Copies of this chain bind each other. A is one copy, B any other.
């Protein structure tokens, strides 16, 4: 599409951004459904109604496209997470923040992302990122999530006094597993659970996850506190 067509330059730029966004949307969905290796650029460009070369033009490579897909969602999520975390602290009025409120601040911004109807693809993609074998991935993860994760660890540390930093990191992984795993299968979760677990009412799903995770964290705190008080390093089994 050149200047000789009836579309002026401004429209061409708009078209360019539309193509770019269409590629990001299509890639987000297909990476989420099929994984990085399973989603071909051909499938992505076809779903985006773009041509094959567009990915290399806009993002340099398939990996560049993946980084762009992830990065696009992180800024809004981080901003909203911090806003809700600040709200927790305000509500606590200087005291230790409420565990459920911290967890809600952590998970709600991710659930809020919707690309079309149903469960958003980004959650499933984010879940996959822990197991994709791309070498650059841990570095990107640290850069995108490191600071905000640290602040949440601080908040959990105040909400659950007595847990070491290492223990808090472990607990956070268990919390993330609680939040991510049921969503990884997406619409096919029902097939794995005799059609019992449906992803229709996401508010109810989030509430269930938050309650479960809060119970898990409190149990960890109870144990660590008791263990430290008794000064033992031996497990019962």
Contact = CB atoms under 8 A, between A and B. Distances in A.
Contacts of A166: 196-197
B35 A209 contact: no
Interface of A: 33-38, 104, 124, 127-128, 130-133, 138, 141-142, 165-166, 169-174, 176-182, 184-186, 188-189, 191-194, 196-197, 203-204, 207-209, 211-220, 222-223, 235, 237
Copies of this chain, tallied across the complex:
2
A230 to B, nearest CB: 16
B215 A219 contact: yes
Contact of A35 (B131, B171, B218, B223): B131
Contacts of A172: 193
Given A133-B33, A177-B179, A191-B138, A220 B211 contact: yes
A131 B124 contact: yes
Given A38-B37, A215-B217, A181 B173 contact: yes
Contact of A165 (B124, B178, B192, B196): B196
A193 B213 CA distance: 19
Contacts of A132: 35
Contact of A215 (B124, B193, B216, B235): B216
A232 to B, nearest CB: 13
A119 to B, nearest CB: 13
A86 to B, nearest CB: 18
A5 to B, nearest CB: 40
A212 B208 contact: no
Contact of A37 (B35, B184, B203): B35
Given A138-B191, A174-B212, A215-B217, 8 more contacts: A34-B133, A170-B182, A170-B196, A174-B178, A211-B223, A212-B220, A215-B220, A218-B219
Contacts of A169: 193-194, 196-197
A172 to B, nearest CB: 8
A167 to B, nearest CB: 8
Contacts of A127: 131, 181
B216 A178 contact: yes
B130 A128 contact: no
A185 B137 CA distance: 11
A217 B212 CA distance: 6
Contacts of A192: 130, 138, 141-142
